[in-house]
Amino acid sequence: MHLVANNVTCSFDNAKKSYYRAFNAVYSKIGGIASVQVILEMLKMKCLPVLLYSTDVCPVNKKQLKSLNMF
């Protein structure tokens, strides 16, 4: 979290790193044997919560929202 003048901004860099780490862990286990639908479902269930954790309490501007848009 960074304080800029009177506004509070949040950095999602660590959340993105954690998301990719979670995705790589899931994909390394099931990537070669699972269907695309199963991989996407696992992505939604296991990885997206890692990325979206605490975004409801941080102000998100349009640029940050666009950078979080994975689909």
Rounded-to-integer distance, Cα 41 and Cα 27, Å: 12
Give the domain ranges of the chain. 2-68
Query: CA distances (Å), 53 to each of 27, 42, 47, 56, in order?
Result: 21, 17, 10, 8
- At 58-70, the pLDDT tens digits run 777 788 778 777 5
Query: How would you classify residue 5: left for phi > 0, otherwise alpha for psi between -120 and 50, otherwise beta?
Result: left
pTM for the complete prediction? Answer: 0.66
- At 19-42, the pLDDT tens digits run 889 989 988 988 789 899 998 998
